[in-house]
Amino acid sequence: MALSADEEREIQGEAANYPTRSALCIDAMKIVQRHRGWVSDEALRDIAGYLDMSVDELDGIATFYNLIFRKPVGRHVIMVCDSVSCWIMGAERLTQAIASRLGVAAGGTTPDERFTLLPIVCLGACDHAPVLMVDDDLHHDVDPAAVDRLLDRYP
Amino acid sequence: MVETPLTRNMRADGEAPDLKAYEKAGGYQSMRRALGMAPADITNLVKQSNLRGRGGAGFPTGQKWSFVPMGSDAPHPKYLVCNADEMEPGTFKDRLLLEGDPHQLIEGMIIAAHAIQADVAYIFVRGEYVLAAARLRAAIHEAYDAHYLGKRIAGTDQTLDLHVHVSAGRYMCGEETGLLNALEGKRANPRAKPPYPQVSGLWGKPTIVQNVETLCNLPCIVERGADWFKGLSRTKNGGTKLYGASGKVRRPGLWELPMGATMREILEEHAGGMQDGVTFRGALPGGASTDFVTADHLDVPMDFDELEKVGSRLGTGTMIIMDDRTCPVGMCWNLEHFFAQESCGWCTPCWSGLRFAARTLRAMEEGHGAPGDLEALEHQAWFCAPGNTFCALAPGAVEPLQSALKYFRTDFERHITEHRCPWT
């Protein structure tokens, strides 16, 4: 397999922003991840080939960044802030509530592949702690008791 | 009346002013004025204003610019980078500026770009700031359409292309040279200095990196002048500051106040004091990588110089409040766990020392502390001190730890002698 026409077009759309081709690699991985859900070994080979980089070099970059997924994730990714302000405001209880509701530990994906639960560093909304993100949505002042209703919005 | 230049255009409904609304409020007039000035005059103006970098280190902005090679022999392209990788735990101020008034940042960037004669600019924004990135892109699009970006801005000789780079996420990207590596499509390891980025930065070319809040101050400095800007402050550091408070206070939030507002004023008047049932024990005044202060320090003006006198730093100016129901050991474990996880692994004191510190704190919190642990932690704090590491991550990481060991030592000792956390 190679990059799809859409993936290639979107990556090319970022090319004018950078003077070198390898500088595109982080954008390229994010684009491919948006299409395929995660960055598989095959996806890495596709991107590395397209950008004239070695697969190992690209993997070293992929594994450095928090938001590049080198394992499959569910349809929705829940990222619960575990940094200090949210910790003070009860992030551990919140994470436990979600983990027990989903039946997975942090880092896990539900068997129906609906949710992946991940810890995340400070989300920069500390005045509304505890906070979490589901996909691109930020949720403020999350009440552990109201987690069910929140997750129902992500079928 | 207290002036609030950074937040003056912020709307109650949280929507960002579009180009038309921004211009109606006087926006892009400072850009026009700055483009008519000689670059050196802008740098001098910023020097006179006493504007210091708002990303945490507080380096004088105009002085930083003066290191950039200028004139016809200077290497090009030169780069201007806005550091919008707000990942310091407890910090949420740049989000407000990015989401609430993106044109103010763009105007500030055009002014800075003209001062250093930059050709290309980037806004490096963290991946989780989805709304901020969308609003920046929309505003940049409007600015290009209005010929405020691109070739021959507003009919002058200044050309500037501005791109948004959305990060794939890592605390290290907020470090100046780590950010440059990330923009080049590499791991965000720090670079050795010298050469400094002002001379050899992005792709080896002269580069200035500034925090969002720093750049947002530029339009009002050009509009109203250096003396007015200095007059906004209660101390020698110029301007206003976005101060914040999080933790168990009644009204956590952000407020634009004169530089030098005291912690007591922010905590009591703006944050409404502590929540019922808890009392104040200490605070990290400017994000996770600043030393604790205690109730004895509440009347210290929050600026770069005054907080240093009591052994801490202004940092990002967003306070994390620790109350009496929060365990200092648990809090330090949370902080060191964060820093150990986010260490890029480039130098030994950081990757090894912080991991050791986090492990020791965890053991202590879980009832497995041992005599000698406190001395070992103090040794790690020394091991990670400035000068022993490549970048500022580890020295910052041990600031809350070393100060907690000083101010809350009895609590640490109780964890060891009682073999449990007294808070659970």
Q: What is the ipTM of this complex?
A: 0.97
Q: What CATH code is carried by the domain that includes residue B368? A: 1.20.1440.230
Measured between beta carbons, the chain A residues lying within 8 angstroms of B190 are none
Query: Distance (Å) from the C-alpha of residue A146 to the closest C-alpha of chain B?
Result: 21
Residue B41 within any structural domain of the chain: yes
Say whether both B291 and B346 belong to one domain.
no
Residue-level pLDDT at B223: 97
The neighbour count for residue B35, using CB atoms within 10 Å, is 19
Whether residues A89 and B247 touch (CB distance < 8 A) is answered with yes
Say whether both B38 and B133 belong to one domain.
yes
Residue-level pLDDT at B424: 86
Domain limit, last residue, from B258, B290, B323: B323
- Closest CB to A65 among B165, B169, B244: B169
Q: Which of these, B307, B163, B324, B195, lies nearest to B247 by C-alpha position?
A: B324
Sheet holding B293-294, edge to edge: B253-258, B240-246, B318-323, B280-284, B293-294
Contact of B167 with B125, CB cutoff 8 Å: yes
Say whether both B199 and B291 belong to one domain.
no
User: What is the tally of structural domains in chain B?
Assistant: 3
Domain limit, last residue, from B264, B288, B323: B323
Measured between beta carbons, the chain A residues lying within 8 angstroms of B165 are 17, 27
Per-residue pLDDT at B220 exceeds 70: yes
Contact of B250 with B274, CB cutoff 8 Å: yes
Measured between beta carbons, the chain A residues lying within 8 angstroms of B183 are 23
Per-residue pLDDT at B229 exceeds 80: yes
Residue-level pLDDT at B379: 95
Q: Which of these, B97, B78, B101, lies nearest to B21 by C-alpha position?
A: B101
The neighbour count for residue B354, using CB atoms within 10 Å, is 27
Say whether both B74 and B207 belong to one domain.
yes
Residue B2 within any structural domain of the chain: no
Q: Which residue has the tokens 């209660």?
A: B234
Mutate to test the interface with A, among B91, B122, B186 (most CBs of A within 10 A): B186
Mean pLDDT score, B227-234: 96
Q: Which of these, B324, B312, B327, lies nearest to B400 by C-alpha position?
A: B312
Residue of B nearest to A119 (CA): B338
Say whether both B89 and B165 belong to one domain.
yes
Average pLDDT, chain B: 97
Say whether both B261 and B352 belong to one domain.
no
**Domain coordinates in residue numbering, chain A:** 5-62, 76-152
Whether residues B95 and A125 touch (CB distance < 8 A) is answered with yes
Residue-level pLDDT at A1: 67
Residue B404 within any structural domain of the chain: yes
Whether residues A27 and B165 touch (CB distance < 8 A) is answered with yes
Measured between beta carbons, the chain A residues lying within 8 angstroms of B131 are 138
Say whether both B32 and B99 belong to one domain.
yes
Residue B1 within any structural domain of the chain: no
Domain limit, last residue, from B200, B231, B262: B231
- Label the pairing between strands B240-246 and B318-323: parallel
Mean pLDDT score, B266-284: 98
Whether residues B128 and A124 touch (CB distance < 8 A) is answered with yes
- Closest CB to A67 among B77, B169, B171: B169
Residue of B nearest to A59 (CA): B187
Per-residue DSSP letters for A113-136? Answer: S-EEEEEES--S-GGG-S-EEETT
CATH number, domain A76-152? 3.40.30.10
pLDDT per residue, tens digit, chain A (155 aa), is: 699 999 999 999 999 999 999 999 999 999 999 999 999 999 999 999 999 999 999 999 999 999 999 999 999 999 999 999 999 999 999 999 999 999 999 999 999 999 999 999 999 999 999 999 999 999 999 999 999 999 999 99
For B29, the domain range is 19-231
Per-residue pLDDT at B2 exceeds 90: no
Say whether both B338 and B300 belong to one domain.
no
Whether residues A124 and B183 touch (CB distance < 8 A) is answered with no
Say whether both B256 and B217 belong to one domain.
no
Say whether both B117 and B157 belong to one domain.
yes
Residue B9 within any structural domain of the chain: no
Measured between beta carbons, the chain A residues lying within 8 angstroms of B331 are 84, 87-88
Question: pLDDT tens across B129-175, in order?
Answer: 999 999 999 999 999 999 999 999 999 999 999 999 999 999 999 99
Distance, C-alpha B268 to centroid of its chain: 24
Say whether both B219 and B249 belong to one domain.
no
In whole angstroms, give the CA distance from residue A138 to residue B130.
9
Residue-level pLDDT at B94: 98
Residue-level pLDDT at B240: 98
Whether residues B127 and A82 touch (CB distance < 8 A) is answered with no
Confidence of residue B1 (pLDDT cuts 50, 70, 90): low
Query: Distance (Å) from the C-alpha of residue A111 to the closest C-alpha of chain B?
Result: 26
Per-residue pLDDT at B125 exceeds 90: yes
Say whether both B305 and B287 belong to one domain.
yes
Question: pLDDT tens across B78-123, in order?
Answer: 999 999 999 999 999 999 999 999 999 999 999 999 999 999 999 9
Residue of B nearest to A83 (CA): B89
